Amino acid sequence: MCPVQYYTMIRQSKEPKLFRYELVKYAREHGIKPAAREFNTTVKTVRKWVRRWEPGSLRGLEDQSKAPKSKHCRIDPQQKKKAIELKRQLKSWGAQRIKQQFGLKISVKAIRRIWKEEGLLKKKRRKHKTKNDLREVKAKWKLFEQIDIDTKALYDIPEYWPQMRKLRLPRYQYTARDVVSGLMFIGYAEECNLTYAALFAKIIIDHLRQCGVALGRCRIQTDNGSEFIGAWSAKEPSAFTRTIESVPGLKHHTIPPGAHTYQADVETVHRLIEDEFFEIEKFSSSQLFYAKASAYSLWFNVARTNSYKNNLTPWEIIHQRDPTVNPNIARLPALPLDHLLKLKLEKPTQRGYHLVTHP
């Protein structure tokens, strides 16, 4: 008699079907019950492998899948078709976002399985930066207590680059985001420099004040890029800093060098807009680009829910915190900074020169 349990031998064996063949061979020569006693297993197990075995080979002695042969819950063909069509249109959108925005009745797991079967899943382009989870701390801040501003280079997005070259579309995005509500403002320019950054900040500040936001004892945070602080050796505050701190109580803060996680909120916007806008949209003109960018900004601020903020939109958070804020706060379109700067430069000065010290 085999001193070791049958199932122990099967787990330890590198070739289980050879061990089962010996079991079947013994059973055919001596019978089912003697084989069960000899191999220290049950009659039912011996009978199963004798039935499965195909004479003259080892076929039938391999493990078979225990998955159900038929699915009890069938997916509605219309829902499946819709999930596939949406993924083909919105290639960079995730299953949870598509299910939420388009009201699909099937689960997120089922949507991913459908996409995998259709070969529609792709690996995301990840930027290797870690982010500190400070949601609980930030949720206790007041509205617009901190606004993060940053720039994003657009020429490294493969789907956007050919259109940028052909239509001479902007190369840089200027982004501002309120940390508490997630409200976002965007502007675009051909260059990344101090003049555009100061102009962008000036427009955002004026817009917030016109919508009833009190910016006293608030701060605007940036990294240490030259578009924000000017030359590293400058002994005076930059034009960007002067623009911000011209508002009583409003301060300009910079993050410690290399501390990218301090700008996590605005960096998240850069990842989302790349996935949800630049990798999907096609443009035929500069005017269409700004129209679509403005539409995305409006959708982001008033319709797109944020799972990290209790599935609320930025406007819903603002309205809950302060009902007196003007709803137009979420409607600022994408800013064509090149055009706006040109208009400002063309204003005649007292001396007749078309120059401006800073916006």
Cβ-contact 302, 308 below 8 angstroms: no
Domain boundaries, the chain: 6-52, 77-118, 137-345
The confidence score (pLDDT) of residue 357 equals 42
Q: Which residues of the chain have pLDDT under 50?
A: 128-132, 351-359
CATH topology of domain 137-345: Nucleotidyltransferase; domain 5 (3.30.420)
The confidence score (pLDDT) of residue 193 equals 94
Q: Could you give the CA distance from residue 291 to residue 274 in angstroms, rounded to a whole number?
A: 17
The confidence score (pLDDT) of residue 349 equals 52
This prediction's pTM: 0.68
Distances (CA, A) of 260 to 133, 150, 171, 306: 13, 11, 22, 22
The confidence score (pLDDT) of residue 347 equals 67
Cβ-contact 330, 298 below 8 angstroms: yes
